[in-house]
Chains A and B, each alone.
Chain A
Amino acid sequence: MRYGIAISTWNSRLILIAAGVVVILLAFAPVIAPRSLIQDLILIFVMCAIAQCWNLLAGYAGLISVGQQAFVGLGGYGLFALIILAGVDPLLAVLLAAIIGTLIAIPVGLLMFRLQGAYFAVGTWVVAEVFRLLLAQWKALGGGTGNSLPRTATTEMFGLSTINALFGVRNAVGREIVIYWAALALAAAVVGASYLLLRSRIGLALSAVRDGETAAESVGVDITRTKFAVYVFAAFGASLAGALYFLDSARISPDSAFTVLDWTAYVIFIVVIGGIGTIEGPILGSIIFVVLQSSLSDYGPWYLILLGVLGIAVMLVAPRGLWGTFSDLTGIHLLPTRRRLVPLGETPPTREA
């Protein structure tokens, strides 16, 4: 008997189609949704992308980084440098900034991978601080006080006039729609790419490494290379998200670009309450986070205290997070990665023969 490998199930194909429909529906949101909701959705998409990357690092590769703000900030600063100093179109600059962030991640990663466990965590944070201090010295981009995007950059963006005409809106709203779509594409691409990564050979190696490094090495898995691939991928995702976020806010400073609170602490919260080590968790977590933030941000410090309490409660009661717990209880995986051994049916004989 011949055998094959199957990952998808009948259900999972339906879910992929449903996910596609949701993305298409979300693409039409600017037609009906108020601007405040659009801004919340942009934040959900950006946080979802960064959280998914951190989830790959911590939940799959066992790399606890406290320094993802390094790449969010580099993405943002790369964007500002490309627009202000080189006059690149903003959307193209987002992509180029992400590539710059990724290229910087390679030597940084080579250095960080000399550190293990807690030292790795501290090291990544130190690197992020070093970038913050370095960019504060860059006078052309505003030094320590930061800088705003020139008006022309946001009014002459690619495709903007078409959208303004199409929706009958002013520049500011049109710009928001373009960024909204880009953020939706970002979240969909990062989630999709993470899923494909986990289904690939690298994903299989990652799972093996997570379950036991010595055993994984004994069957030929290159542990460092596997983790490094994830590290670089996560840097790309964070840089891309950072560039888009700062295009939306149109203002950057070293402190906002490299803040550990926004780009790592909140991200950890999102992944932990959503469900670490699951693709679905960070999506759920980022929705919960943004809903909490927009409904509770008027309460000042109480909002942060509530986030903290909620985070601790989930860690104690449901350490696998909301999605992880739900998935454990019901056996439901929306995005299956398990490879099943299936016997291949004999090819049916043709009638003509």
Chain B
Amino acid sequence: MLLELARINKRFGAVVVADEVDLAVADGEALGIIGANGAGKTSLFNLVAGVLKPDSGVVRLDGHDITGLTARARCKAGIGRTFQVPRPFESLSVFENLLVAAQFGGGDHRGEADECAEVLRHTGLLGKANGIAGKLTLLDRKRLELARALATRPRLLLLDEIAGGLTEAECGELVALIREINGEGVSIIWIEHIVHALFSVVSRLVVLEFGRKIAEGVPAEVMARPEVRRSYLGIEEEVA
């Protein structure tokens, strides 16, 4: 397994954001996570990325315990992430945003310019490479989130609602890109409300509710389960 979470618990006062969560992602796999607002999805990412430390439980990467590692160390270990609300380095150019990631998260420092240019071409930002990141449109900001995460050369990519707020066409473009990245061997965990986009990429789905994992499996099957429909879609089964 590339990533393993074993019995992760995390609470903020009375609010439980992770309740005995077990999760495993294989090399090259794409896993989707859904859940209502406040289900603990982003907190789960923060636990994986090292921004939060669990109250109990173990996070493993390649079988090594990384629970005690900082966010920075986990980036270097191969975990890349995007933020739900894009957080570009606004005063830097698009290229400089990637350069930071390549120089600090990406291991050796040779050929960074070529590497960044390659990621920029891939994500459709090459033409805007020397423009200021703070002036980008929403779609380009989302692309930049993705590009910057890719510049750290991750083995596992955490995508947090990257399709939210985009038009149908923009969303389609982004999905094609994510599928391509996954096809190149990068494992993906994707939190998304736009279910049709999510399902065209992921092969497995996890549903969270109040920090608990309530369902896991093939997307279509999981979505058909009554507890998922009730929790996520708010649909009560009709009484016969």
Contact = CB atoms under 8 A, between A and B. Distances in A.
B158 to A, nearest CB: 9
B47 to A, nearest CB: 14
B117 A3 contact: yes
Interface string A217-234: 111111100000000000
Interface string B98-109: 011101111000
A207 B93 CA distance: 11
Contact of B75 (A1, A212, A220): A220
Nearest to B70: A217
Given A218-B81, A340-B93, A341-B130, A5 B112 contact: yes
B91 A2 contact: no
Nearest to B89: A211
A204 B95 contact: no
Interface string B73-94: 0011000110100011111110
B92 A207 contact: yes
A133 interface: no
Given A210-B91, A219-B152, A220-B72, A204 B130 contact: no
A207 B72 CA distance: 17
B121 to A, nearest CB: 10
Contact of B100 (A1, A208, A341): A208
A127 B114 CA distance: 47
Residue in B70, B72, B87, B148 whose Cβ sees the most chain A Cβ within 10 Å: B72
B104 A215 contact: no
Contacts of A3: 113-114, 116-117
Residue of A4, A208, A212, A340 ringed by the most chain B CB atoms within 10 A: A208
B186 interface: no
A31 B71 CA distance: 58
B49 interface: yes
A114 interface: no
Interface string A10-26: 00000000000000000
Contacts, number: 98
Interface residues of A, number: 27
Contacts of A208: 89, 92, 97, 100
Contacts of B139: none
The residue among A1, A217, A218 with the most chain B CB atoms within 10 A of its own CB is A218
A204 B101 CA distance: 10
Interface in A317-353: 338-341
B75 A218 contact: yes
B215 interface: no
B103 A201 contact: yes
Residue among A5, A207, A214, A220 with max Cβ neighbours from chain B (10 Å): A220
Pick from A207, A215, A339 the residue with the most CB of B within 10 Å. A215
A90 B29 CA distance: 68
A136 interface: no
Contacts of B92: 207-208, 211
7 contacts: A207-B91, A208-B97, A214-B87, A215-B89, A217-B71, A218-B83, A219-B104
Given A1-B117, A217-B75, 16 more contacts: A5-B113, A204-B100, A205-B100, A211-B89, A211-B91, A212-B89, A215-B87, A217-B70, A218-B49, A218-B81, A219-B151, A221-B100, A339-B99, A340-B95, A341-B120, A341-B129
